[in-house]
Structure 1
């Protein structure tokens, strides 16, 4: 069937608009983040200077509701607008599929769009609590970078897939792998923030800017738990994706596994994530050692996505780049 150019343009417009809205959300959340830091520093200075602390139990006291701080209002606005950005992101994926009359996972542009969309959906699920919303600042940074690369360097016009990808295995295998990659992106950010937070405890001096930034984040144990919980979700998906890919390879190439560069790198990433889950459950490895393994797995995923697809030639070279 011919490509629906109108829907393809709508998909591209939704994708570009999502990037702009994500950038707006990032600015609003940074304002909230900075305002919260300033408020905490001022409160700490007042207490340290022996400033009076009002007693809420005093007789005759009338509680007057305080106006919502400006920074918090910006944060609430940013979180609300974030839902619009995610809807635009999903709309770009759906419209691309209708435009091409296939599942929209035939090239790297579409794969990255799906993976970043999965990462943002995970963020909405796990970071809805006000205590965790500050993490969106750090999740949006890699998502925006990947989406920018997808819309520029990796972009491919809406078109039919190559004959090798015209299979019912495409929506099954690639969807599971892309969603798993997005979950691992979220998990990797959590582990990086955990390592950062661990070295900037609550007692850090206010003069240390890194310490002030870290104190707005959830505590290190919470970040570690978020990384672990999301990896538990992503690992079975990624494992299923590898198994289904082997079944597809058997049908397409007559062998389930041939140590193709992408297969090899996927196996390395799988081993790293399996090692992370094992280390996370092992006494003595639960803190920084396990977190570094998780980060290594995330780096392997990025290497598999960009270097293997773009630089190395193999049977999985379907990046869609000219």
Structure 2
């Protein structure tokens, strides 16, 4: 009996302590997590935000770099559930704290399911069921031990199920679970399935590799090369220490005292972080942020590093030679800023004097964009691109502006349907507020990356939406006195809302990280061909918006026994703006112009513009291809489907001339053209391999 009693006691101890880590971590996890959260809140990340890291061939802020690296580990949750700048350093210096933390992202649901089954088999193999744990025994003491063991089994089982359910929903799993032998065998089996799961297993292994402290250290290149250029590699502190031990000349241009100060500050930062001493971390990170630029002041980003920008104006007291030096250096920048302000003021005054709400709103939007940028830089206390880049990524690239676009649709639709002038003013104001914030986000990214943002999918989508907003504002100016007013703003708001929602909710597919351009993109044609093409794509989507609204209108008419076959703009497109009646006024301005005619006319205007731009962009692409690849046309998938999109709109023009129900077929073919365009932009880029897979 004593042997049986001891056996039960031993099994219960193994269950609660050794055989399943969750049983132990559940007791201490909340305490350590609370202490870690308290430690994180005490750290001043302002100093770390002033530190630059060299990665992927460009200089980034530490915050931007950490987000990019942690995205490899935790997927989209790196920007949602964690603080990447904190997690990167914490994972590098205190890796054991994350052994049982769900930080590794598994993208594929099928892979998650297989891992869950393996963990359940592991649990049953180690622990068994309550009957397996309790065994036999008839005396009272044995029954008490059996009851306690069964209760403990249920508790551990419940904890495991909660963790596995969360893993299935979010895709995050602890590294300790992935090291389970059952999981290891399952992953090996999935690695052999090249068609379904091998790619996701490779991503999982990459996430584990990146989370290794040694890999994190080797990627943290904080020391600029003294006397080097932008293309020269930066050094890690481990390389600096090794070079000093070998007494080589890796940093021969740096004084020994500065090297020792850098190493002392770095060692102090590590010790303070490992002991969770926030005060020490703040002090040493501030020291590093001060010392690192001294290694190569010309190369290190700092105040005035974007000297060509009008708003990179240093305060007067920053100049040792006084106001004269300030005027000679930055006077033209003030002239540029004042000129921009006057230009915006002219828009506002003309709009007020002529009662043009759209022109007034344009001026207000431009002023708002400048104010947003200045407020951000003043709040950060600097125009240094490093803290600005960190802030830009902290606010999710300002992709939350889609909310403002979505809200503007409500009054704009009311203005379209009920012709309420008050709703039009409110809707245009909200739309232009959203456009102003969108403009600020675009220009901040331009400022930080030092190039026009159109070289990857995230930038192409968000910039295309911005181009659509610019076009909508110009068209709203042209039709400010016509029934078409507000419709272009509706189209642009819908397109921008969808684009920014995709950017906000799909950070993996639309990677927001700023990277260097591919070599083939270093060409003037990038800014000509690409901008024309993405503008045409946005106009195609906007035409699909009005086409959808037109089909909804026709459905309502059909439901009320009014077919609406005559609900179309008589001459279609831009011609509907200039066709006049006996009174000399455009036909579309007559009171009898219905919503159907307005929507159809808007669709044709957008289709005509996109048709011309798509043709021009395709021709420009052929010129660029001949310049870069030695042939203007190579039947690349991107080229083929760009041609297919163009052919769809050629068919639309012919259908417009021949069919009887012109409005209906115009809307249907506009939607087909948008579908082909989206296939060309999404499937070709992500699924079908070709020369344009990066575009």
Q: TM-score, normalised by structure 1?
A: 0.73
* Equivalence map 1:95-114=2 (5 Å): 95-114=444-463
CA drift at 1:89: 1.4
Distance 1:133 1:98, change over 3 A: same
Counterpart residue number, 1:239: 615
Q: Is 1:76 aligned with 2:432?
A: no
Distance 1:316 1:191, change over 3 A: same
* Equivalence map 1:1-322=2 (5 Å): 2=59, 4-9=385-390, 13=395, 15-26=398-409, 32=414, 76-126=425-475, 132-133=485-486, 140-153=493-506, 154-201=510-557, 204=560, 219-284=595-660, 286-318=662-694
Give the secondary structure class of the aligned counterpart of 1:199.
helix
Give the secondary structure class of the aligned counterpart of 1:200.
helix
Q: In 1, Cα distance between the equivalents of 2:612 and 2:415?
A: 34
CA drift at 1:7: 4.5
Q: Is the 8 A contact 1:309 1:317 kept in 2?
A: yes
1:96-138 CA deviation, whole Å, 9 max, x = no partner? 2222222211001111112222333343344556955378567
1:265-312 CA deviation, whole Å, 9 max, x = no partner? 111001001211222233536232233222111111111111111111
Larger RCO, structures 1/2 (Cα 8 Å, 6+ apart): 1
1:193-237 CA deviation, whole Å, 9 max, x = no partner? 2222123229939xxxxxxxxxxx952122111111121112111
Q: Which moved more, 1:182-191 or 1:92-101?
A: 92-101
Distance 1:280 1:245, change over 3 A: same
Give the secondary structure class of the aligned counterpart of 1:287.
helix
CA drift at 1:155: 2.9
Q: TM-score, normalised by structure 2?
A: 0.36
1:34-91 CA deviation, whole Å, 9 max, x = no partner? 9x78xx9xxxxxxxxxxxxxxxxxxxxxxxxxxxxxx975663332121111122122
Q: In 1, Cα distance between the equivalents of 2:470 and 2:671?
A: 21
Where structure 2 has 5 or more consecutive residues not aligned to the other structure, the ranges are 1-57, 61-384, 562-592
Distance 1:284 1:134, change over 3 A: closer
Distance 1:202 1:121, change over 3 A: farther
Q: In 2, Cα distance between the equivalents of 1:318 and 1:258?
A: 17
1:9-39 CA deviation, whole Å, 9 max, x = no partner? 5655573352232233245557x579x78xx
Q: In 1, Cα distance between the equivalents of 2:498 and 2:663?
A: 28
Counterpart residue number, 1:50: none
Aligned residues: 274
Distance 1:10 1:275, change over 3 A: farther
Q: Is the 8 A contact 1:103 1:170 kept in 2?
A: no
Q: In 2, Cα distance between the equivalents of 1:186 and 1:138?
A: 5
Q: In 2, Cα distance between the equivalents of 1:271 and 1:179?
A: 18
Q: Which moved more, 1:269-278 or 1:140-149?
A: 140-149
Distance 1:142 1:135, change over 3 A: same
Q: In 2, Cα distance between the equivalents of 1:293 and 1:177?
A: 20
Where structure 1 has 5 or more consecutive residues not aligned to the other structure, the ranges are 41-70, 206-216
State the 4+ residue runs in structure 1 displaced beyond 6 angstroms: none
Give the secondary structure class of the aligned counterpart of 1:102.
coil
Q: In 1, Cα distance between the equivalents of 2:694 and 2:502?
A: 17
Q: In 2, Cα distance between the equivalents of 1:257 and 1:80?
A: 45
Q: In 2, Cα distance between the equivalents of 1:10 and 1:168?
A: 30
RMSD: 3.1
Give the secondary structure class of the aligned counterpart of 1:317.
coil
The structure having more radius of gyration, on CA atoms, is 2
